[in-house]
Amino acid sequence: MFNIIKSLYYEVMSYFVPEKIEYEITGECKKCGKCCRYMYSVDTYTEREFKIMQFLYPKYKRFYIKGKDEFGNFIFACKLVNEDGTCSDYKHRLRMCRNYPAKKIMFNGILHEGCGYTVHKKEFKDYLK
């Protein structure tokens, strides 16, 4: 009896599970520096919040607000990127820089034109193949 109720519960709950889509990134860095000159920060909506983030995480003082995009989101850039696109403090770069780009992401990222990386959308049907 318990197994029947459990099965019915899982059947009903399966209708509320959104389709899972993963994105995989392949390729290699061309060392152009575009990603260092044009980046976003999640949950930073005001200049004051950015200053607080820099106060709490002093290593973020290497970034500055470059402007806003067409949607009003802040665009950040790194002060340490050289003209040739390389990092002037490569040995001490942040973890987010060392790990960029993550090989698997949960949202569709848009990469800069000419970037050596490519985003591939992996849907459930791709796993069935």
Residue 65 backbone phi and psi in degrees, to 5:
-80, 120
36: closest CA among 93, 103, 91? 93
Pairing assessment for the beta strands 104-105 and 22-27 based on DSSP bridges: antiparallel
- Report if residue 59 sits inside a domain: yes
Percent of the chain scored above 90 by pLDDT? Answer: 22
- Report if residue 9 sits inside a domain: no
Give CA angle at 65 (61, 66), nearest 5°: 130
pTM of model > 0.85: no
Q: Is the pLDDT of residue 24 over 90?
A: no
Asked if 25 and 105 touch (Cβ cutoff 8 Å), the reply is yes
Would you state the pLDDT for residue 73?
82
- Report if residue 11 sits inside a domain: no
List the domain range (segments joined by +) for residue 115. Answer: 18-128
Mean pLDDT of the chain, nearest integer? 82
Element (H, E) at 66: strand 63-68
Chain segment 82-108, per-residue pLDDT in tens: 999 899 999 998 988 888 887 776 666
